[in-house]
Amino acid sequence: MEFNIKPVDTSMRESVIARIDNLTKPKGSLGMLEDLALQICLVQKTLQPALHEPHNVLFAADHGIIEEGVTVSPKEVTWQQLSHFSKGGAGINFLCEQHGFKLVLVDAGVDCDIPQGHGIIDKKVGRGTRNFLHGPAMTAEEFERCLESGAAVVDGIHADTRCNIISFGEMGSGNTSSSAVWMSLFADIPIDECVGAGAGLNNAGIRHKRDVLRTAMANYTGGDDVRSKMAWFGGYEMVMAVGAMLRAAELGMLVIVDGFIMTSCILAASRLYLQVLDYAIFGHQGDENGHRRMLEALHAMPLLRLNLRLGEGSGAVCAYPIIESAVRMITRMDQFGDANVTRYF
């Protein structure tokens, strides 16, 4: 599947900067809010940006690599939590409710037959990926299907609502292993520096996880292209998120990037289409080992640092009020020429 993502048109850049600098404040005094406002204005091609109907899409799937003992979370937690999300009592539920997000749940490849009627979108590609220690986690056909399914979910949201800002989350025991390998491959960082505790491994568990992933990477016999590497080591929910991010950028939507796993997804997406980063707002720096390094590799400045490692889109949703403040700054503050205030910068 191919995407047509246009780089953001920067022809308005000087006009936007002039408007921001002429707000009734010292030049640069609102810091990252000013940077955000500039980015949002360029994406939306207007000096009067607006945010409409934010959505958080949560993709869930299982991973074959957990057969190697790389996580303390048993596989059944994936479907149990997905069901939990649908009932409204999990972490991402209260955050979406608090900040006005619609939560969209997607079964990308959970090893369970999810009952109908719970509002969970069925995009199941398989009952979990294969163990990438011994071969590719998914086939090329499954990889393409994941990209298409992720894009289709965003298409549905875009067609049915005025949504122009979207975040993505995940649920899948073992997905920090896939994310660590993607980070190593696509940011050129040694795998030992990419591996963390995940859901709560102790030091011995982290050493074992590093050994498994180091061996898995050494066993790789696929092609040298990005798609082959993504398919060999990725998760269904991760590739689906990549497809969703790429489609959102193609549609001109703002993409709020969540924690370690979703940052690895935008990293992989950027190796396919670099211009996707024009649309990305990095919500937070999480507590997983390596997240800071990956953000640095992307030259990304996260809005928050709350030591989160929940996933689900939690950090992205928490960052939304700051993004909203940037929009309110440029649309609600007076200009010096309209207020009885002497310029003081």
Active-site residues, by number, are: 312
d(CA 118, CA 26): 51
Report the alpha-carbon distance of residue 133 to residue 146 in Å, rounded: 21
Nearest to 57 by CA among 242, 295, 274, 275: 242
* Other beta carbons within 10 Å of 26: 11
Q: Do the Cβ atoms of 194 and 291 come closer than 8 Å?
A: no
What type of residue sits at position 333? M
> Residue 159 class from Cβ within 10 Å (0-12 exposed, 13-18 middle, 19+ buried)?
exposed
Handedness of CA 154, 250, 4, 242 (dihedral sign): negative
Distances 317 to 28, 55, 104 between C-alpha atoms, Å: 26, 9, 13
Taking the CA of residue 195 as centre, how many other CA atoms within 13 Å lie in the half-sphere pointing to its CB? 22
